[in-house]
Amino acid sequence: MPARPLPSSTPAAQGVDACGVLAFLDALDSAPDIEPHSLMILRHGHLVASGWWAPYTPERPHLLYSISKSFTATAAGIAAAEGLIRLDDPVISYFPELDADITDPRSRAMLVRHVASMASGHESDTLFDARDLDREDLVRGFLLIPPTRDPGTVFAYNQPATFTLSAIVQRASGQSLTEFLRPRLLDPLGIGDVSWLCDRSGRELGFSGLHATTDAVARLGQLYLRGGVWEGERLLPEWWVTEATRPQIPNAGVMPGGDWQQGYGFKFWMSRHGYRGDGAFGQFCIVLPEQDAVIATTADTWDMQALLNLVWEHLLPAFGPAPVTGGEAADEALAERLAGLALPPAAGKPAPPEQAEAWTAAAFTPDGGVCGHVPGLTAIDLEQHTDGWTLTLTEDGHPLRVRLGETGWTVAEEPVPTAVSGGWTDPDTLVVDLAFLETPHHLDVRCSLKDRTFKASWRTDPLHGLPLRAMRAARASV
């Protein structure tokens, strides 16, 4: 059953100056290192602005990276309310099969609240060390690493801490995170299909890997803004919302960027304004209690602080105390602008006629024997059709075929949701932009006819190490 749309309103009616939102969009257009994918703004419980930069669309799930942590924390809050877990229980108490293995007193003293607040006592991320210690059970690998400080005394952004919290919820409930959240959170909020990457044992990662829509992110933010109540129904205990969104552990000087040094709650960051869930490369769920507003974004950028700076510079002042008088023209201009958002396709011309025969059925190998940031990509083959070209990217023996049209973006859903653009920059050079639409990521490909070689590199490096054919949301969802 389709989700009930969020209540909508004009910006002016909710005290939002559309000129500020337009200025934000202008700033994004001028920021060379930020590629926006979506934007939703809620004010006083109403959706006042939303837009997706084509080829991204509202209904498409997007890899949220560490906003996954905020959903995991929400599951923990619900589990705590149901008496399934307790914040002051030792972590080891949920894994009795590990009792004999975990002998370090600090590891044994670690509480649920410590892994919920990135305060396990470790001073750095333990992900790779924990995996080295136990490839099959990340919880065991994590607990085998003795914290250098007492739990609760130091912040470290530590992926296995969140994985352990998610494993506790899954162990205590006997369900996956998605199964647990479906009747308790996702259905009541009107969130449709979601999917989560899993570890080798089938446990959902918790710390990352959630694919969901921007609308889902906005609804989660609105739930927290309303203290855990949605349409008159309490979904989260008020005490959990309070605890999750206040500083549980200081982190000044630990992380780069002013908005990463304001303190950390239960899988929410404190910001210079309000608080937020965030995920790598510009996925944000920004909650502004003083402005009674929620801002959700998806994007592809290394410079997440720059994106937040633009929010503070342009969107924050746009939230006024009263309806905007005479704002109709700006509202209309904003609506028109949002409806026409689009990413420019890669520059290029049609295949040069003098080289058309040479390009047809051409094959390319990696330049210099390596392939940028895609080491398994060993060959690219090109084939011409009446309406464009097919590129076959062979990675570890597995082919991925994508279509390149004559102009603009060519979107395909199978075998992986992609959008492809590009063309010839000169008779001997083909440039292709390959966007994996259910992730933030683009693969830039350059083929040289003269050398019969190619170069391929990610604009931002995917963090899960998945092959190209798996760069999508899983289709089996609860």
The whole-angstrom separation of Cα 316 and Cα 329 is 21
Burial of 90 (0-12, 13-18, 19+ CB in 10 A): middle
- In tens, the pLDDT along 14-52 reads 999 999 999 999 999 999 999 999 999 999 999 999 999
Domains of the chain and any CATH numbers: 12-82+167-339 (3.40.710.10), 353-470 (2.40.128)
Total count of residues recorded for the chain:
478
- Residue 2's pLDDT is 52
Least confident of 123-132, 268-277, 364-373: 364-373
Please, which residues bridge with residue 434 across strands?
420, 443
- Amino acid at residue number 398: H
Average pLDDT along the chain:
95
Angle between helices 328-339 and 18-30 (to 10 degrees): 40
Angle formed at CA 341 by CA 197 and CA 473, multiple of 5 degrees:
10
Residue 318 has pLDDT above 70, yes or no: yes
* Backbone phi and psi for residue 418, each to the nearest 5 degrees, phi listed first: -140, 160
Predicted TM-score of the model (pTM): 0.96
Query: For the sheet containing 442-448, what is the strand order?
Result: 398-404, 388-395, 377-385, 363-366, 453-458, 442-448, 429-436, 418-426, 410-412
- Residue 178's pLDDT is 97
Residue ranges of alpha helices (H) inside 85-174 are 105-109, 112-116, 127-133, 138-143, 159-173
- In tens, the pLDDT along 244-297 reads 999 999 999 888 889 999 999 999 999 999 999 999 999 999 999 999 999 999
The whole-angstrom separation of Cα 402 and Cα 418 is 8
- In tens, the pLDDT along 436-461 reads 999 999 999 999 999 999 999 999 99
Residue 371 has pLDDT above 80, yes or no: no
Q: Copy the structure tokens of residue 216.
A: 């889902």
Pairing of strands 442-448, 233-234: unpaired
- Residue 363's pLDDT is 95
Angle formed at CA 28 by CA 26 and CA 32, multiple of 5 degrees:
120
- Amino acid at residue number 374: V
Residue 477 has pLDDT above 70, yes or no: no
